[in-house]
């Protein structure tokens, strides 16, 4: 495996060939915010929070979908990047109805925590107030589309880790919505194995356990690493 050299925030650092910029940056201990990215799942580049400035490029690029290459000059934090990250979060909040005070994931939500971390104290845009529904037809779980940020972690974990591919997406742009079994109610899904992986890796209160009340939905995405490590080391085979 060959080693490459790039300039990160003014310092020369090493990375491995084929690594994504996000991996290379995080390997150096630099924190980059992400919402759609989760180690172990395929890369999506949807949330755009890991935008970085790359020498020679007139626009900001997402670090997760950009490969680290020799000689690259990368800046991860400056006023321009911070401005756009905050703007993206504000648009995300304006697009659906993220009312934190009455959310099952209040105080355990990645979106809520990132907003505070990145200095978002209000939203400058008009809220769209869409009339999105909920699906509580499943015996164990529920989905509140008002809380969904379309990170598609649920779609990917269901397909790539559980192998069920119950989740998919319909519509385009802000009309996109995650669906189960070609838009049948979740409770009537013939493919759902009820494993709960989608619920556990959802960064907001969009997917939740039935019966969870405000602030009760605590999630732990670390299980995914344990599963994937186990697979890699063949711990599950007799």
Partner 1 sequence: MNAEPQKVRLATVWLGGCSGCHMSFLDLDESLMDLSEQVELVYGPLVDAKTYPENVDLCLVEGAVTNIENLELARRIRTHTKIVVSFGDCAVTGNVTSMRNRIPVKDLLTAVYQQARAPIGPQALEVLPALLEKALPLHQAIRVDVFLPGCPPVPERISAVLDALLKGQEVELSPPLRTFG
Angle CA(76)–CA(68)–CA(163) in degrees, nearest 5? 100
> Among residues 102, 134, 169, 174, which is the contact residue for partner 1, using CB under 8 A?
102
Q: Is 107 in the site for partner 1 (CB under 8 A)?
A: yes
Q: Which stretch binds partner 1 (CB under 8 A): 57-65, 92-100, 160-168, 174-182?
A: 92-100
Q: Is 174 in the site for partner 1 (CB under 8 A)?
A: no
94 with 127: CB under 8 angstroms?
yes
Smallest gap from residue 132 Cβ to partner 1 (A): 8
Q: Is 97 in the site for partner 1 (CB under 8 A)?
A: yes
Number of other CB atoms surrounding residue 7 within 10 Å: 14
Smallest gap from residue 122 Cβ to partner 1 (A): 5
Q: Mapping DSSP to helix (H, G, I), strand (E, B) and coil, where does residue 17 land? A: coil
> Among residues 1, 3, 12, 101, which is the contact residue for partner 1, using CB under 8 A?
101
The Cα–Cα gap between 179 and 192 comes to 12
Q: Is 130 in the site for partner 1 (CB under 8 A)?
A: yes
Q: Is 123 in the site for partner 1 (CB under 8 A)?
A: yes
Q: Is 204 in the site for partner 1 (CB under 8 A)?
A: no
DSSP 155-177: HHHIIIII----EEEESSGGG-E
**Would the CA dihedral through 6, 9, 10, 12 be positive or negative?**
negative
Q: Is 31 in the site for partner 1 (CB under 8 A)?
A: no
* Residue in the block written with tokens 């020498």: 55
Q: Is 129 in the site for partner 1 (CB under 8 A)?
A: yes
115 with 47: CB under 8 angstroms?
no
Q: Is 70 in the site for partner 1 (CB under 8 A)?
A: no
The Cα–Cα gap between 23 and 26 comes to 5
> Among residues 122, 172, 233, 238, which is the contact residue for partner 1, using CB under 8 A?
122
In the complex, which residues of this chain contact partner 1 (CB under 8 A)? 93, 97-103, 106-107, 112-113, 115-117, 119, 121-124, 126-127, 129-131
């Amino acid at each position: 495996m060959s080693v490459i050299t790039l300039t990160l925030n003014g310092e020369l650092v090493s990375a491995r060939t084929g690594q994504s910029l996000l991996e290379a940056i995080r390997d150096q201990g630099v924190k980059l915010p992400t919402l759609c990215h989760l180690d172990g799942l395929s890369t999506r580049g949807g949330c755009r929070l890991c935008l970085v400035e790359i020498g020679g490029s007139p626009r900001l690029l997402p670090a997760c979908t950009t490969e680290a290459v020799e000689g690259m000059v990368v800046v991860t934090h400056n006023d321009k990047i911070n401005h756009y990250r905050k703007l993206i979060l504000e648009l995300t909040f304006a697009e659906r109805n993220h009312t934190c005070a009455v959310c099952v994931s209040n105080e355990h939500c990645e979106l809520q925590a990132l907003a505070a971390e990145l200095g978002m104290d209000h939203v400058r845009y008009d809220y769209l107030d869409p009339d999105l529904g909920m699906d509580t037809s499943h015996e164990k779980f529920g989905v509140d589309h008002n809380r969904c940020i379309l990170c598609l972690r649920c779609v990917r974990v269901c397909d790539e880790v559980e192998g069920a591919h119950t989740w998919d997406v319909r519509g385009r742009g802000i009309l996109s919505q995650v669906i189960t079994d070609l838009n049948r109610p979740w409770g009537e899904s013939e493919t759902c194995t009820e494993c709960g992986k989608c619920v556990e890796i959802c960064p907001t209160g969009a997917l939740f356990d039935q019966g969870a009340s405000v602030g009760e939905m605590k999630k732990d995405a670390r299980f995914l690493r344990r599963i994937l490590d186990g697979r890699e080391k063949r711990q599950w085979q007799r």
